[in-house]
Structure 1
């Protein structure tokens, strides 16, 4: 052995070995001749003899393989072959699925950077174009079913690696294609299962309410798959999905209230009860708790969880877990259900401490964001800290101590302004929803910033925004553009500072401005201009059974609050009902009906 080889570290030896193999893979694929080479032999060699053994060798070798695949532009090479295959399809009769299988192997073991590259080289277009091929649409043979399965698997794995690819797939009508294949798949449970996984990732319930509406038969099937998978020693299904993956799919399907009600009736809460008891893996306990957290935002789900005292006890036992994700999910459920006296007292303690001991000028600017937008949030925080009057920025990535409630209380309670950096992942996050709704409940000044290109706010975040305006900040260029107006706006809201020029922002297309008026005494004024006493007088005229004047004053309900409540009545009735019950103390159904009717009549 040469002295040079002897001096190499183990990592360097692995890297050298991996580099030689990846070079071999790429050169073979580049030299692929459709007329002369037996494609099956070549693809099988690349897939089974070289790539998979590397990925299965060790976790370190997996990391090295992914790094080398990026360095050698593997996806770009594969993309060119896909494009040629589409043009020269006659040379790939019977073997077309081999390329997709090779791509699936790479995506299965893929990294976050590989997921980003997948989107950069426009692979979503390639996969959807392949799925749209006329000879696949009717699933007339086993070969066509296998090919559709491989393509759908790639779509699922790509969205799992890079959630930002969901919008690209959605814009290319993947939802429509999957719905079509669901109808054609019949009793092919393997393909149906995969299509459900893809639909749960790609569909946006708020943009297309019917997209996630699965048939009862399919929901029954996937729940049974979960229960059977949990009984297997390795907690994997017969086609390779882990129990956590199946649970995550069910959780996304349950965003549809129709699906949620069927799953509750079919015993999904009992399955959660089993999973969060002792003996299951942390990732399974986490996803089961996160599923219950999602359900707790829906009236039917919250009611079923709340009445199961044993389940509430199990959830409570996990709130002090050493696993932060488990602790956060358990605490989030208890906070949402308002069933934990200890948490309520702790939160009240934070409110008293902040209101008594912190002047407005000492309060911070809180940035609320989802983890997918953490880089944008960091960049925003760094730039704001360079601006006078905006230096005191609170970012939870820098405040990791304590559970979610303590971090949320510290962030929201101590804020003069909350900057909400929203996106689709923000809307789909239980933690972000709890945080934003809590800031709104406390009447905090909220500035909304869209951080995802081509995304229009809808669902609960759209309802929360109401008529408010928002900024666009999807990259550093747009950050530079909005920063002067944004800092002026923050200073104006937090300290009363008046900028030299009018702040111009883009109006959100989700909610158009409306002109509303109401009368008081002999003079007509806009009810949006009402202060808290105006609202109290309006409530007195309803003659409700429950005295909610104290709560109305305590919560500081004003005309703006009533305007937002009108949006919630239509766009988020569950949230409207929760506000009436928890914030205003209305528990009598007739009181809520009267209040709701009178609110609708404010014009």
Structure 2
């Protein structure tokens, strides 16, 4: 039995933090990024049926997602323990989601920086639902060669190996070698985060020390008002150059980059209005169109994040004009909507077309 994390993919990074904290505390978890195979609907149904509890990650986009609604309602029908986790500040669910949540106690995880500190109360609510025994947890950790972490652990106490494990958990394994080369431990990681308050200074420091500034764009948060999302022309241009090289299967900065991960970074960055203008001005729409109309490793995921970026960009008048005028792009989006087997990808394609 596990704890199932039911969420809308726009808050995926925050949900992955929750998942990581639960796993460190000995909980078995289920999340669609690493346990999906075969029919999506069948996999979801089995995940609900095999769960001891379901964390419903509440947001406006969760309410609007048919796939999320199916998960939540099936969990309710199966009489599973449902624990609401608020992923969007000040959001109050209405309609079907409000009715399903009823008077349940919410756990506010809208700010990713506060997730670790709030896990104690969430785990108290979960109790032993989905939790393995301590001996099993310790044995699993020893077999993996990783120290057992507790919920009281702070990132600034991590050693270089724990930082590497964190990079792998958040699907940024591409950066392990670079971090190892520069002996990045928890203290250095914390300093890197604090430097993000001054984007230009962080950009220049990373260029001097790492030579890979595009990593900033892949690791930034999702908050629309976060100043770390305010990019400059140079950084946007560099990120697009790396994405273009990745689409061609070429190396950049001495490594091969992952198309879908770069598109995920662009999807996050394109929420910001200033970034919409910069990405469009630097030819970002043309490169995203190449992703949508081309074939790449992890094509389904690459399509989803590229479409998400285009959806965000389309809220800017100039960007929308460029998207509409791009030969074959709108038809390709329609084709993905008609043929994709992923509900999430179809949902994003539908949203992009609606905005256009």
TM-score range, shorter chain: 0.3 to 0.5
TM-score scaled by length of structure 2:
0.48
What's the TM-score, normalizing by structure 1?
0.30
Q: Which structure would you say has the larger RCO, counting Cα contacts within 8 Å and 6 or more residues apart?
A: 2
In our comparison, the structure showing a higher alpha carbon Rg is 1
